[in-house]
Amino acid sequence: MKTYKAILVDDEHSALQNLKKKIEKVCPNVYVIATFQDPKMALDYINSHATDILFLDIQMPGLNGFELLNSINELKSQVIFSTAYGEYALEAIKKNAVDYILKPVDNTELKEALEKAIFNIEKENADQNSNLVELLNKIIDRDHKLKVPTQKGISFIPQEEIIHLEGYEGYTKIHLADGKTLTSSYSLGRFNDYLDDYFFKCHKSHIVNIKAVRAFENEGYVVIGDEYRVPITKTYKQAFLELFS
């Protein structure tokens, strides 16, 4: 299960502890990495530590929630305001907060706010990843490397090292000549547009590197490398055999 980091800022100790417990209950994949009663200490920490979700009280001594937000060097977190005062809602919206929760915090409202924040995080990551991949495709296509978005980032794989691409449930598993595999959230069809001519789609869920094929079996399989078998459907059988004629 993917986890997300959160920071909580509220000058009331009891409010911090209550919010932390509620977050753990309604959304266990959100991990509270730090809590602060002093907004100035929170600002120093936020400016030096990456986080996904930031919960802010508004009325705090020394630095209120809006002032803290304006003082962050580079805000990349999803912001959720939590306060006892409803009159600040409009100002919170102007600050592009993902949500605004009134105290006492309701579990349902908290869960909905967290789900919004996670949705925004994933959408932004997906958009950034997609844009980056498209840019890289234009810049280094001449290297004949496949750009593979993974959970850790983007891998650049020489296409001759790929022996088989396997699609399943919207994901793609990429099998390499050294026996390693990579899994990407991109579908098989999306990779198909960037593959060199020596790749052949032998099944709706399988694409093979023709250079790695060692045999064809009449019962409907192609053999790659050391007896690694991949299914081939009747639809693609004739076209496949013609490649070797």
Specify whether 205 is located in the same domain as 111. no
Q: Per residue of the chain (245 residues), what is the pLDDT tens digit?
A: 789 999 999 999 999 999 999 999 999 999 999 999 999 999 999 999 989 999 999 888 888 888 898 888 888 889 998 887 666 665 666 566 778 888 889 999 999 999 989 988 888 765 655 554 554 454 445 456 787 877 777 788 888 899 999 998 888 999 999 889 988 888 888 888 778 888 999 999 999 999 999 999 988 899 997 778 999 998 888 888 888 76
pLDDT at 22: 96
Nearest to 121 by CA among 4, 23, 19, 1: 4
Q: Is residue 130 part of a domain?
A: no
Please enumerate, as own/partner, the contacts of 144-147 that have beta carbons within 8 Å and a separation of 24 or more: 144/196, 146/174, 146/191, 146/194, 146/195, 147/194
Residue 217: what residue type?
Answer: E
Token readout for 54 is 């930031």
Residue 195: what residue type?
Answer: L
The CA distance from 159 to 157, in Å, is 6
**Which residue segment(s) compose the domain that 148 sits in?**
144-242
CA angle 98, 102, 107 (to 5 degrees): 80
Q: Is residue 96 part of a domain?
A: yes
Rounded to the nearest 10 degrees, what angle do helices 13-26 and 107-140 cross at? Answer: 70
Specify whether 186 is located in the same domain as 158. yes
pLDDT at 93: 60
pLDDT at 185: 83
How many domains in the chain? 2
- Give the count of beta carbons closer than 10 Å to the beta carbon of residue 212: 21
What is the pTM assigned to this prediction? 0.52
CATH number for the domain including 34? 3.40.50.2300
Token readout for 29 is 């994949």
Q: Is residue 138 part of a domain?
A: no
46 CB-near residues (< 8 Å, 6+ apart): 7, 54, 72, 77
For tokens 């990456």, name the residue: 50
